[in-house]
Amino acid sequence: MLTEDGPKVLEYNARFGDPETQVVLPRMRGDLVEAFLACDDGTLDRVDIGWGDDRAVSVVLTSAGYPGSYERGKPISGIEDAETLDGVTVYHAGTRRDGGGRIVTDGGRVLDVTAVAGSFEDARNLAYQACDRISFEGKTYRHDIGIKAIKGRTSL
């Protein structure tokens, strides 16, 4: 971030799998693999990369007890239904397939539900609508994601 005192680093720990990354990459216009390869061979200046004007919100669905102890192996339903909503992507974090092929919980952070829309409020509402379509025993998640960003603003 550029400030009056020069550049400042807010956070440099954004890795794939994190909710921070999952709200950035859907807005990227261009080929991520091409960008990585160009970084490696020093030709990034020749790659066409841009950013969409849309907004994104990600809500993490967790297992009951997270970040402490939690149970694994709880069947998950509704992922496909959530992804039928335009602009929604569900990222798997702590999941696996059981012996019968069902998707079950296998971690504290189970799923990240990311929604992209034209406004921040619409993206937030869409993310929570998608969260409501997903079920598993012990599902927990924060209900306040994005509230501070919305307070005092009519549109983002």
Domain assignment present for 136: yes
Domain assignment present for 69: yes
Boundaries of domain holding 82: 53-143
Domain assignment present for 108: yes
3-state DSSP assignment of residue 147 = helix
- We report the CATH number of the domain holding residue 79 as 3.90.600.10
Residue 152 is predicted with a pLDDT of: 61
CB 16, CB 92: distance < 8 Å: no
Domain assignment present for 122: yes
Closest by CA to 104, choosing from 82, 130, 71, is 71
Domain assignment present for 48: no
Q: Which amino acid is at 16?
A: F
CB 74, CB 105: distance < 8 Å: yes
Domain assignment present for 20: no
Q: Which amino acid is at 48?
A: D
Domain assignment present for 123: yes
Residue 9 is predicted with a pLDDT of: 80
| Number of structural domains found in the chain | 1
Residues 6+ apart with CB under 8 A from 81: 133, 134
pTM for the structure as a whole: 0.81
CA-based diameter of the chain, in Å? Answer: 58
Residue 156 is predicted with a pLDDT of: 45
Domain assignment present for 82: yes
pLDDT in tens, the chain (156 residues): 788 999 888 766 656 656 778 888 889 999 999 999 999 999 999 999 999 999 999 999 999 999 999 999 999 999 999 999 999 999 999 999 999 999 999 999 999 999 999 999 999 999 999 999 999 999 999 999 988 888 765 554
Residues 6+ apart with CB under 8 A from 71: 63, 64, 65, 105, 138
Measured between alpha carbons, how far is residue 8 from residues 5, 12, 38, 116 in Å?
8, 11, 26, 28
